[in-house]
Each structure stands twice: as C-alpha cells, then as structure tokens.
Structure 1
C-alpha cells in the first residue's frame, strides 16, 4: 500500500447521476484518485467489502478502471467484480450488484453525454440495492472531497481485463466476468422469449441503433442470438471510446439515422435505440415516434402481458416533469401513482419498499423492480413482448391507448450550455413571481396554480426541495422548468410542455401544434427566448 499526499479540488460535487466533468478534468493528476478515495471514505471504507466495477467503454474508462482497482486493493477490498474490458451497462451493473450481493459498485459513465478526449467522463457510486447513491451519501462524498489530504493506491502492474477469471491484486481478488451473460439471463426470466422468437421467425423486422455505445454487445446477444432477429438488426453495435463521433443520446435529434429509416420506404416494423451506458431507450414504429411519457403509460397498461409481470403492478412512479399519461393508467388499474423529482435514485425507496413495479422519466428512461436503474434494453424487450402478445404494430397499440385514456400531448425543449448566471437569474425572477401567478390568463389559458416542486419521500420522510417550477393551467395543461444536472458545460434549461385532450377527437395533431398555446403562454410568463438570447431551443423531443 502506498499513501499519496494530495489536496482538494473544487467542484467534486456529484449530481443526480454522479460526478461528470470533461475528460481532461478527470485526467488531471490526483483528480480521479481524490474522488474515489472520498467515495470510499464517505461509505465507511471498503475493507473486506465486495464491489462491482464497469462502465460504458468511453475514452479514459480503461485507465480509470485500473486506477480504481489499485485503490480498492490499497483500501482493503476483499473482491472487485469487473466487467470484461471494464465494460458493464448501467442496468447490468445494477443487476450484478444485486445478484452477487455486493456491497456497492462504481460505474464509469457520463450516460448519454458525448465521449472522447475532449468530451465527457463520469463516475458514480451505486449502493448495495443496485441503485444510485442517495443525497445523504453524495453530500458526504462531496464534503470529504473538500478536506481530503491523502489517498491510498497500490503500486502494481495493471490487471489483464481482457481475460475472464480471477487474479490477485495485493490481497484483493479481482474477478473479470462476462458483462452480458447475467443480464441476458435475467431478461429471459421476465419476457416471453419463445413468443418474441416466433415474431421474428414470421418475418417481423427490427432496427436497433446502439449508437456505438455499450448496448451493442447486449443487443446482439439478446436480439440476434437468443431471439433470432436477422443478422445486422443491431446497427452501430461496436462500442467505441468516442461513440464514433456520435452524440449517444437516443432521441429523434441524435438518432436521426434511425428516424429516417423508420419513416422511409420499406421501413422495419419496429425501431429502437439506446444510449451511452444503456439505461435509456427510444421507441419508434413504422412512421411513428413514441414519446417516453407515452411509452411509460403503454408499458404500465400492458405489462401484465409479459411473464414476469403477470401478477400485475404494485404501483407506478414517474418524475415530476414526465407527463401525467401514466397517472391515468394507474387510476384505471386502481394502483398507486407517485410523482418524484428527476433522478432514478428517488425511485429506489419506492421500489425497495414494494410500493411500485414500473417507473419512468421523460428523459427516455423506463424500468422496473428487476434492477434499481432505468433500463433501455428492458424497455425495448417489453415493447417486443407487448407487440407479440397483442398481434398489433406500434401505431395500432398507441392509437388504442389514446382512445382508451385520452392523449397527453407533450414535448421537451432544451436550451443547452446557457451561461449559468443567465439561467439562474431567469428562474430566480420566476421564483419571485410564483405566488402572484394564480388566476393570470394568457394565450387563452388561465393559471390554476404555480409552485416550486418539493418532494417528501413517503418511505423515509426525507425532503427534496427546489426540484423545478410548475405552472399548471386550468384543464390539465402545464409548463415545467428546471435546470438539468447531467451537463458538464454551462447550464441546460429544460422546459416541458403538456396539454391533455380526453378524446375521442383531436388525438392525431402534431404535438408542437397542439402545444402551441402552452408554449406561447410560457414565453409570455417567463420570457425564455428573450432572456436566454436563444431564438429557439437547441433540442426538441
């Protein structure tokens, strides 16, 4: 064991999904080491503990994994289970923590953010339940990072992470495992693989865009090898350190190749995409894009068709900015529906307490109680199971859903890399006017209420304040504004627009046209474009 002297770095404060910075920041001498040692110290040390380690294959991941292995050994860890090549999708890491009853895990990823020498890198700690560390732990990590004076790191050669098996690193056992096998086996217990195989055998065509990110190996094994989809079904299936120059975020803007194929001639029956670390998904049918909020609602309404969910759902949870479409399903099913802040860690207590089965966020994340992370491949398999069971295509399933529940027209507008002072001043101004907005009318809409969302966890009573601004209009429309915690440059302002139409008519409008009155009202009330200096959003989903 070698003890290295160090001093604190400013800004090592984990966000909703760990610490994310530009890769060169993490590559500074002592930067990664400080954060890892702070994490170990904040959780009471790792002596005699078992950890899981892996990531999405982005640039600097291999080097970071070697550093963490040597630090875990120097800090007395009993065993570190690491994915071959330092690869593990985020949901697969969550599953491995749970299956192997590990004490926790470290995931090397910046999720859907770009990767490469000058792009983004990230590190987050997951707890023994497989879920992201709660705020109490991330606050402790940050506090420790601001006072750290030394870290422990073994002086030893690198471990061969290409070879499966176990080796010793000091007194620590390093076990290199297949990153795909355990996860794929879990999926077979949840879904009707024979029915999905029959779907593909009957000529059903699918396109899966893995965006040169981590789900490529998972998608090939599950869709092509185990389910019999045609070779080449998985596009961009080889993980690359820079994601092939792609922005690995599965939305219509960045997954434009998939969108073009699904709306072109001779389009496949079904399209899907996943992101950098495999926890997000996008669902597309022939000529139809399914919003994440609608996807969550459709899954909640049809989950009983999958063998792992035949007993029905205990409850549904959604993040506050996500549309209320899932609420309508929960009401019809007679089950609980919870509204939480953004961040998968807020679902963890509900899942562990058995209050909910399915959770989702508008930011292309959906999952269930099988792990404690959102799960892109799981969501795609759920859709395939629903299609096989119902004998309908995506467009038919969505149309039936709208006829039954009405439609929550919904869209998210992102203003990226804004100067932080500009973004904060805009929201500070709104905060100061919230109480005066009730009853104000604009663009044909009257404000029913306006607030800054605060969440009290129904399981442990913890309170999370300042979770975004809600402007609720009479009739079910609303606008939500919040700053994202996943960027590494400036501030990203996310604005969410929603309008409910009960049907049976008016369910086939273009979402942006249907939402035009809500968008105009929010602009009048907040002055987003004027104050940001942006004539339009950078990304619309």
Structure 2
C-alpha cells in the first residue's frame, strides 16, 4: 500500500536519533537465542539495526574476527581494504573492525582523513592490487546499501573483488555466530588508538586511481563534446568526493546535488512505504531530483555506497532500471569493438526478458542467475562475462579492451555511461528503449513487496517445484517452474513460473523482512495484473496454516 507521505520531504518526526542509535550500537547486546539477532548474510552481507539488536558492536566484532580467521586459513596475506558509507553506524563499525584486524595482525588499508568509500572503489582497489602483487588482497565494505538510516551493514569481498559467494559467507556466518554464542571470548581486539598507531593500519587514496582510470571504460571526450549540463546526486552518500574528483579531473559541467553527509538523511523524500530509503531506482525517493529534470540534459544519482544507479532524462523522467539495463547492453555490444559475441550478458532471473530478446537479436548468450551480484563476480573477473546487471539497478561491465574493471556493482560507471550513450547516439535513453518496444514488443513489468516473517521467508526460500500444483498462469499454459537458475544451476531461493508471454518469480528478501513478487507480461497491463493476482493467491496458500505441512521445507 502506498503511503500518503510517499515522495514528500521527510517530516522531523521520521528522523532518527543519531546519538541514541550509536549508543545502542555499543550498549545493546544481541540475544543469540533469537534468529533475528544472529549474524545472517543475505544477498549482500549482514544487515540490521542497532535499535533492533541486529547490528551492534558484538556483531561487527564477531564477523571481523571470523573474516580474519578465514583470511589466515586461506593464506590471504596481502592487504585487506576497508571502506564505509555515510550511514550513522558505518563509522563506529569501521572503528570496531579496525580494532579486531590490528589485534589479529591483519594489514588493512582505510581511506585517508576518514573519507567515505563507495563499494566499487573497494572492488577496484582489490583488483588493481592483485594485478601487480600477490593475488590475495581482499576487502570489507561497511554499508547497508540503500537501507534506512537506522541500519548498518557488513560485506566481505574475496580476492576476485566481488561479493563473497555463499560457500564463503556461510563459513563466516557460522563462525561469527559461534563467537557470539561464546560471548566474544574468541575475539582479539585492541583500542582504536593503539590500532591506528600499529604497523597494521595504513591510509590509502581510493579515489584518485579509480577516477584517473575511468577514461579506460567511459568516453569522456564524447561527453564533453556534447556540452551537456549534468547533475549528479550522491543522495548524501559515499560518492560525494568521487563526483567532485570526476568533475575536476575531466572538466565536466556538472552540478553535485546534496554534496554533504547527513546521518538523518533529512533531505530525502520518503519511499513508497513512508520510510527513508536512499533508493535511486524509486521515483518516490528520487522525487527531489525529478523536479530538476528540465534544468539538465541528464541527471543521475547513486545510493549511499554507490553500487546502484538512477538515471533521469528530460523525456523519460526516472528511467526504469530494466529499461536502462537493456539500453546499456545494446549500446556496449554495438559500440565497443572488443565486446564481441564471445562475451556473455549476465542477468538475474527477475530482470526483464526484454534483455533476452535484445541479446537474441544480437546473437549474444544470456547467463541467467539467481538474485545477487555475487553470481557475476567470477565471470567479470575471468573476462567471459561482458556485462552483469540486476533489476534493482546494479551493474558492472568490462573496460574498453574487454578486461575486468570491477566485479561488484558499480553505480558510478553506469551513471557516466548514460551520459556517453546520449552523447554518442544523440538520443534520449527513453527514446532508445521505445525503439526496442517497437521491434520486440512492449514489456509490462512490476514488483510487489509484502511483509514476511522469518518462518514465511524460510518456507519460500526452500520451495520445490512440486509445491506448486497448477498448470495455467494468466490464462496461458505453464512452460517451466524453476527453482534453479538456467545459467549456473544455482538455487533461486524461491520460485519462477514461465509461460509463453509472461513470467512471475517469488522470493524472500535477503536484507529486509519482506517477500517480493516480480512479474512481467509481453501482452498487456491486464495480463500482468492477472499474473500478479494469481501469484498472490499462490503465496496465500503457501503461508496458510493448512499448507504449512505440505510445503517442502
């Protein structure tokens, strides 16, 4: 249900008490007997709130100790890069992690002068280091991404630079929970001051090498020649200083909106549910930037750790993430000489099938995986995946020479690519996508979010295909019921039902207490609504008391 406050500036009553939040981070101790207060790595690391005892210092100490032990076990004896975003809990969490790493004799690199560090810059730093020296540098990103201001997050990136796969995160999660259960007895830590004075902590300039290398993946000459007036909105996140450096280094005519950190994020307009959420793909969270669209040739935004992108054009307004992914893929494989048909396109199974139709037309193989960018990391790292993208506005791609750039989502190259596309083609992103609809058919796509308990999420995550006893969906015969992705055979953690002209996927969120229904139709809005309605009935049946015993969990 849409909140009456959606798209409106945040009232004072909605702002968090930052002092209380940080106090709770240090003072509250999680109850290990409660699932909601354990360490849990979802699709992108562990996330929670100090208010709810799901992201407190105990969690960070335990996870960091587990990471240190994992590094030593794997022989990763190079530097551990640590970055943080602008959420209020991120700085305290980084301080906690530094204390543990130093005590464990782990060499770490943190940003100079406490500067915030976007997720893609951590991935870039890992990969650049591993090209030149021992290939065992890895990283930690302290961020809950676009989540509300009260949240904190912790993500581990191994030496391939991308988000850790489930085989790694399951080990870290298990060990961290053992440490929590034993009241942190196994955690080694020193004071923060002593850690900074130790030989194990160094400062590092994450921004300059990244910005200077951008010319190897983005055509800034074309952007400058187009004489665009640009706007970049970091949404008060960690990309503020990066955009400042990009503007200076490449001499762009670019205004930077909200160029400051505000732990309450009081400048944000509220999301669809009335919560503050720095989601650059949400028209409600992006309402302020949308009001400025006529002032600029192109405007764009990133979430707080800059791994997601939002594109605003004069004609298209906020471009649907699926639409932009489609345009970006088409552009890269038609305008980059090294993007040949030998490269594959990675998409999550809940991304639009418009991507499949475009790729089929170009003769490019699609690599479909479950939700989570971690499934693209190795393909980007090895150079056989030219592009990897998620419907939630996260993507990365190879350099102009088809070598690896980042193996984590990079919202910065995606925003800059939109400027290159419009400069080179002379067309609005929305007009390019409209041409696809004329050629391949119109896509009607939507996602529905609904509250879900831990029990309900567990049921949905562990479904088998025979848990669904239906033959038709939206008046079409069901062609496939999938619980594993076609690209890599990995478990979906939910269910996807496919017909000739539509599909629906149901899965629990890995980061919030909700489940999601994704659906797409290439027939009509009415057909999409029918698919959604039937999917909701399926969910009601699965969650009802009468069906619990029949669901194969």
* Band the TM-score falls in, shorter-chain normalisation: 0.7 to 0.9
CA drift at 1:93: 0.8
Contact 2:370–2:492 (Cα < 8 Å) also in 1? no
Residue 100 of structure 2 aligns with which residue? 71
- Tell me, in whole angstroms, the C-alpha distance in 2 between the residues paired with 1:277 and 1:481: 27
Deviations 1:283-342 (A, max 9, x none): 222141322122111111111566685667711010011111111222122222111000
CA drift at 1:278: 0.3
Query: Which structure carries more strand by proportion?
Result: 1
CA drift at 1:522: 3.0
- Tell me, in whole angstroms, the C-alpha distance in 2 between the residues paired with 1:319 and 1:47: 30
Mark the CA change 1:183 to 1:32 in structure 2 (over 3 Å): closer, same or farther.
same
Contact 1:286–1:395 (Cα < 8 Å) also in 2? no
Residue 178 of structure 2 aligns with which residue? 147
Residue 23 of structure 1 pairs with residue 54 of structure 2: no
CA drift at 1:484: 0.9
Deviations 1:338-362 (A, max 9, x none): 1100001111222233321101111
Residue 157 of structure 1 aligns with which residue? 193
Correspondent of 1:297 among 305, 323, 326: 326
Residue 123 of structure 1 pairs with residue 158 of structure 2: no
Contact 2:460–2:507 (Cα < 8 Å) also in 1? no
Correspondent of 1:90 among 101, 106, 119: 119
Q: Structure 2 length as normaliser, TM-score?
A: 0.79
Q: Which moved more, 1:381-390 or 1:286-295?
A: 286-295
Residue 177 of structure 1 pairs with residue 210 of structure 2: no
Q: Structure 1 length as normaliser, TM-score?
A: 0.81
Correspondent of 2:61 among 33, 38, 52: 33
Query: Which structure carries more helix by proportion?
Result: 2
* DSSP 3-state at the match of 2:435: helix
CA drift at 1:254: 1.3
* DSSP 3-state at the match of 2:291: helix
Residue 206 of structure 1 aligns with which residue? 230
CA drift at 1:207: 2.9
Mark the CA change 1:83 to 1:344 in structure 2 (over 3 Å): closer, same or farther.
farther
Mark the CA change 1:175 to 1:409 in structure 2 (over 3 Å): closer, same or farther.
same
Correspondent of 2:313 among 279, 285, 299: 285
Mark the CA change 1:47 to 1:382 in structure 2 (over 3 Å): closer, same or farther.
closer
- Tell me, in whole angstroms, the C-alpha distance in 2 between the residues paired with 1:158 and 1:307: 50
- Tell me, in whole angstroms, the C-alpha distance in 1 between the residues paired with 2:308 and 2:395: 7
* DSSP 3-state at the match of 1:44: helix
Question: Following superposition of structure 1 onto structure 2, how do residues 248-267 of structure 1 map, counting pairs within 5 Å?
Answer: 248-250=278-280, 251-262=282-293, 266-267=294-295
CA drift at 1:425: 6.1
Residue 496 of structure 1 pairs with residue 525 of structure 2: no
Mark the runs of 5 or more structure 1 residues left unpaired by the alignment. Answer: 1-5, 160-167, 502-508, 533-541
Contact 1:190–1:308 (Cα < 8 Å) also in 2? no
Residue 465 of structure 1 aligns with which residue? 491
Mark the runs of 5 or more structure 2 residues left unpaired by the alignment. Answer: 1-28, 131-135, 180-184, 269-276, 399-404, 546-553
Residue 188 of structure 1 aligns with which residue? 215
CA drift at 1:15: 1.4
Residue 503 of structure 2 aligns with which residue? 478
Residue 354 of structure 1 aligns with which residue? 383
Mark the CA change 1:199 to 1:31 in structure 2 (over 3 Å): closer, same or farther.
same
Q: Which moved more, 1:83-92 or 1:186-195?
A: 83-92
Mark the CA change 1:453 to 1:431 in structure 2 (over 3 Å): closer, same or farther.
closer
- Tell me, in whole angstroms, the C-alpha distance in 2 between the residues paired with 1:78 and 1:402: 52
* DSSP 3-state at the match of 1:30: helix
Question: Following superposition of structure 1 onto structure 2, how do residues 68-467 of structure 1 map, counting pairs within 5 Å?
Answer: 68-82=97-111, 84-101=113-130, 103-115=137-149, 119-148=150-179, 149-155=185-191, 157=193, 169-172=197-200, 174-200=201-227, 204-223=228-247, 226-230=250-254, 233-244=255-266, 246=268, 247-250=277-280, 251-262=282-293, 266-288=294-316, 289-304=318-333, 314-369=343-398, 370-415=405-450, 417-422=451-456, 433-434=467-468, 436-438=469-471, 440=472, 442=474, 445-455=475-485, 458=488, 464-467=490-493
Query: How many residues are aligned here?
Result: 485
* DSSP 3-state at the match of 1:144: helix
- Tell me, in whole angstroms, the C-alpha distance in 2 between the residues paired with 1:88 and 1:308: 32
* DSSP 3-state at the match of 1:123: strand
Contact 1:42–1:144 (Cα < 8 Å) also in 2? no
Contact 2:308–2:395 (Cα < 8 Å) also in 1? yes
